[in-house]
């Protein structure tokens, strides 16, 4: 660390997952030793969590799954760290006065509690858990304002938009254009999608990610969730958010300004760059992964999404416009439907159908409380668990 540089103590919620492991890789390769893993959390990946604790020696570790928590304590003895469990452990780590930044990288609505607790304490949150904003966007943004915290995007598209937005004033923004790889089934017809298997859907063309988001990319639900995330995070009107298919995943998104200038952010598909930027913003550290080389031949393609074959995208636009409880219903329904698809209980094309049914059946409220959102979440999950194709 150079004189004048300050140490950033980072709590990683979901350190055992794809984003969490990339986050620790960023910390491990920070040559200036500016970043330190202060707290880690894992759920069921016992061995990975043990290995991470031995390598990074954090001040705290929280194990959220009760069985894993019971079985891991003995192995952690001898390492000079505090072992915590359950939601209280997450709250304790993120609200520790010494914690500087929280990387929120638990998958699904389960990640909202940690995001919320960190923002309540006025912390800066590097947000990978897009579901926090899909479920409770307006309440989360109001909490940021009220407690003086900050949300910095980790999602690659939102990181790209965040960087491009530095080129103009909010009133000069015409629209944001999120790029989507199109997933493994780009160009397929609905008939061809009828019998696709979880294994096929898990073969993402450009990114290596956890299973839930990988299925979301295949249905285009990931882009649907990202459209909602963008609206709340950047305070946009629904008409200002658009999606374009870009199979190479090199242009991570774009902002079009009032005068017609389009500013894009480019880099290879590697999450270490957006994670590092959210952990060190406003500073830029040396490149944590590969660089894009535009002096060599490289073709970049753009095409409109096929909204009939991939109806999840329209669900996202609809939910973004409605706001209120619609995001909580869509998100919970999707989590339950993806779990059933991965378990071989329903087909790929049933995912949007089950989500449609859950949105239509829930009692819409335009200004829900957080408690109400959790109730909508629980009901939508149950409905999809019982849903028959």
Ligand X SMILES: CC(=O)[C@@H](O)[C@H](O)COP(=O)(O)O
Question: Which residues of this chain interact with Mn ion, rule CB under 5 A?
Answer: 155-157
Nearest to ligand X of 64, 156 (CB atom): 156
Please choose which of ligand X, ligand NDP, Mn ion, none residue 181 contacts, taking the beta carbon within 5 to 8 angstroms, the exact cut-off set by kind: ligand X
Q: How far is the CB of 73 from ligand NDP (least distance, A)?
A: 16
Scan residues 247-276 and list those touching ligand NDP (CB under 6 A).
271
d(CA 210, CA 342): 13
- What is the contact mask toward ligand NDP in residues 40 to 69, using x (rule: CB under 6 A)? --xxxx------------------x-----
| CA-to-CA separations, 318 to 227, 235, 238, 313, 323, in angstroms, rounded | 10, 17, 9, 9, 9
| CA-to-CA separations, 70 to 12, 78, 83, in angstroms, rounded | 21, 16, 11
Query: Is 229 within 8 Å of 152 (Cβ atoms)?
Result: no
44 annotated as belonging to a binding site for a ligand: yes
Nearest to ligand X of 183, 323 (CB atom): 183
| CA-to-CA separations, 5 to 9, 33, 335, in angstroms, rounded | 13, 10, 41
- 207 binds ligand NDP per the rule CB under 6 A: yes
Residues of the shown chain interacting with ligand X in the complex, contacts defined by CB under 6 A: 155-157, 180-181, 183, 207, 217, 222-223, 271
d(CA 317, CA 237): 11
- 130 binds ligand NDP per the rule CB under 6 A: yes
List, in order, residues 6 or more apart from 106 with CB less than 8 Å away: 13, 14, 17, 41, 43, 114, 129
Nearest to Mn ion of 220, 339 (CB atom): 220
303 annotated as belonging to a binding site for a ligand: no
Q: How far is the CB of 2 from ligand X (least distance, A)?
A: 31
- What is the contact mask toward ligand NDP in residues 96 to 115, using x (rule: CB under 6 A)? ---------xxx--xx----
- What is the contact mask toward ligand NDP in residues 151 to 180, using x (rule: CB under 6 A)? ----x-------------------------
- 133 binds ligand NDP per the rule CB under 6 A: no
Residue with tokens 């009032």: 258
Query: Can you say which residues are annotated as belonging to the binding site for NADPH?
Result: 16-19, 44, 129, 131, 210
Q: Footprint of ligand NDP on this chain (CB under 6 A)?
A: 14, 16-20, 42-45, 64, 105-107, 110-111, 128-131, 155, 207, 209-210, 212-213, 271
Query: Can you say which residues are annotated as belonging to the binding site for Mn(2+)?
Result: 155, 157, 226
């Amino acid at each position: 660390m150079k004189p004048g540089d300050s140490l950033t103590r980072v709590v990683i919620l979901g350190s055992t997952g794809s984003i969490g492991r990339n986050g620790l890789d960023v910390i491990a390769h920070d040559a200036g030793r500016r970043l330190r893993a202060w707290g880690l959390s894992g759920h069921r990946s016992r061995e990975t969590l043990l290995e991470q604790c031995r390598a990074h020696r954090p001040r705290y570790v929280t194990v959220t799954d009760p069985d894993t928590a019971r079985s891991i304590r003995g192995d952690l003895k001898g390492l000079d760290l505090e072992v915590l469990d359950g939601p209280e452990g997450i709250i304790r780590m993120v609200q520790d006065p010494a914690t500087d930044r929280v990387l929120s990288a638990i998958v699904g609505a389960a990640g909202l509690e940690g995001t919320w607790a960190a923002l309540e304490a006025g912390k800066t949150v590097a947000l990978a858990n897009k579901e926090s904003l899909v479920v409770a966007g307006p309440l989360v943004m109001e909490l940021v304002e009220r407690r003086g915290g900050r949300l910095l995007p980790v999602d690659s598209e939102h990181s790209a938009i965040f960087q491009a937005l530095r080129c103009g004033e909010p009133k000069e923004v015409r629209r944001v254009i999120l790029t989507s790889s199109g997933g493994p089934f780009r160009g397929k017809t609905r008939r061809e999608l009828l019998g696709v298997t979880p294994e096929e859907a898990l073969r993402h063309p450009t990114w290596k990610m956890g299973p839930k988001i990988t299925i979301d990319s295949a249905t285009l639900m990931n882009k649907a969730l990202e459209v909602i995330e963008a609206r709340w995070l950047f305070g946009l009107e629904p008409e200002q958010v658009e999606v374009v298919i870009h199979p190479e995943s090199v242009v991570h998104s774009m902002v079009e300004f009032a005068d017609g200038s389009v500013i894009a952010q480019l880099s290879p598909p590697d999450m270490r760059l957006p994670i590092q930027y959210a952990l060190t913003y406003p500073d830029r550290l040396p490149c944590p992964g590969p660089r894009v080389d535009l002096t060599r031949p490289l073709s970049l393609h753009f095409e409109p999404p096929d909204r009939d074959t991939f109806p999840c995208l329209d669900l996202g636009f609809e939910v973004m416009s409605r706001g209120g409880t619609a995001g909580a219903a869509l998100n919970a329904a999707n989590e339950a439907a993806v779990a059933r698809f991965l378990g071989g209980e329903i087909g790929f094309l049933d995912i949007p159908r089950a989500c449609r049914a859950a949105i239509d059946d829930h009692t819409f409220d335009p200004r829900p409380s957080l408690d109400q959102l959790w109730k909508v979440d629980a009901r939508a999950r149950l409905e999809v668990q019982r849903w028959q194709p």
